[in-house]
Amino acid sequence: MVQAFYEAPAYHLILEGILILWIIRLIFSKTYKLQERSDLTEKEKEELIEEWQPEPLVPPVSKDHPSFNYNIVTGDEAACFAIQKGLQASRSSIKYFKHNDMNDLERLLKEQEVEDQKNPRKARVTRRFIVVEGLYINTGDICPLPQLVELKYKYKVRIFLEESLSFGVLGEHGRGVTEHFGINIDDIDLISANMENALASIGGFCCGRSFVIDHQRLSGQGYCFSASLPPLLASAAIEGLNIMEENTEVFHTLRMKCKRIHKALQRTQGLKVVGESISPAFHLQLEKSTGCREKDVKLLQDIVDYVSAINDH
């Protein structure tokens, strides 16, 4: 090996030596070299931040993309808890109008009409609903259904009427707020109610146009994820309907009793009755607040406890 070293040409040894030195330099040298730089002033940093415009992570999506939900729901702000949760689950665009204020409702419908004119393509696939209760459990008063029907045809919207409290109460035959106002049921697109109040059962029903109900029957969560109504409770609901049809005097008796207790409570000093006189659900409020919400609640609870104690004896 030593002999081969001496016999090797000089240029070959020189190249190998240079190559070895270059490899050693690469091994021990730093991978980068710090360059001298001057720190930016605070003003320069702020100017750079203001001028910086990052590129979007994803391309912008058009508002009329077919995957978007085009349902627009206009609901009463006094709607019950069940309606509120249902609207949240619908993933619709929700707007609330002041309770039973048809002027405020029409204002929202006009605003939506202006928005529809800006994008006719989107407006053609947008579904618009007005969601109200026949008899509001949170206030005890009745929705102005005749005015709602007028606005429905004027602004081309659908009415969804929740009648859990008004069904079996309003109307000569207990058929709800449509019978109470003499409104043709065909003017209402969807009517729903539970069977826990007037029919003393469980579950509920939804009625409306045949094509809507067919879709709801096959695609609703009650069909996909819930058990059927037990036969006993189904029979109880049917019997309740039979009683409503055969004995319409019960509705007159109910209204008279509601008016009687409503009138009696109005004579109670210090309390104010809120709600319609024919409503079985109304609210008692303090005529004058104590100025503290906690004290008001405690005073009302004391009244409830006092009445409960009298009934127990």
Two tokens, residue 192: 């729903």
Q: 174: which DSSP letter?
A: S
Tokens 């040409």 belong to: 9
pTM: 0.71
Evaluate if residue 136 carries a pLDDT over 90.
yes
Same domain? For 215 and 282 the reply is: no
Residue 1 is predicted with a pLDDT of: 57
Same domain? For 145 and 212 the reply is: yes
Over residues 227-245, mean pLDDT: 88
The count of structural domains within the chain is: 2
Evaluate if residue 62 carries a pLDDT over 90.
no
The answer to whether position 145 is within a domain reads yes
Residue 30 is predicted with a pLDDT of: 66
Same domain? For 183 and 295 the reply is: no
Given a contact cutoff of 8 angstroms between Cβ atoms, the answer to whether 274 and 283 are in contact is yes
Q: How confident is the model at residue 223 (pLDDT cuts 50, 70, 90)?
A: low
Comparing 27-31, 232-236, 238-242, which segment has the lowest mean pLDDT? 27-31
Same domain? For 174 and 265 the reply is: no
Question: Please, where are the H alpha helices in 194-292?
Answer: 210-219, 221-225, 231-246, 249-266
The β-bridge relationship of strands 71-76 and 93-97 is parallel
Two tokens, residue 143: 């929705």
Given a contact cutoff of 8 angstroms between Cβ atoms, the answer to whether 171 and 180 are in contact is yes
What does the mean pLDDT of the chain come to? 85
Same domain? For 182 and 267 the reply is: no
- Residue 165: name the closest of 257, 80, 266 by CA: 80
pLDDT digits (tens, 9 = 90+) for 292-304: 888 988 988 888 8
Contacts of residue 91, defined as CB under 8 A and 6 or more positions apart, other chains included, come to 69, 71
CA distance 185 to 241: 18
State the CATH number of the domain containing residue 103: 3.40.640.10
Two tokens, residue 266: 């109005």
Two tokens, residue 149: 């029907």
Contacts of residue 164, defined as CB under 8 A and 6 or more positions apart, other chains included, come to 80, 82, 133, 137, 192, 193, 194, 196, 197, 204
Decide which of 199, 230, 261 is a domain's last residue: 230
The answer to whether position 81 is within a domain reads yes
More confident residue, 177 or 202: 177
Same domain? For 138 and 215 the reply is: yes
The answer to whether position 237 is within a domain reads no
CA distance 212 to 217: 9
**Residue ranges making up the domain that contains 180:** 71-230
The answer to whether position 151 is within a domain reads yes
The answer to whether position 176 is within a domain reads yes
Two tokens, residue 89: 């689950």
Tokens 């729903």 belong to: 192
Decide which of 230, 259, 278 is a domain's last residue: 230
Same domain? For 223 and 287 the reply is: no
Same domain? For 178 and 269 the reply is: no
The answer to whether position 64 is within a domain reads no
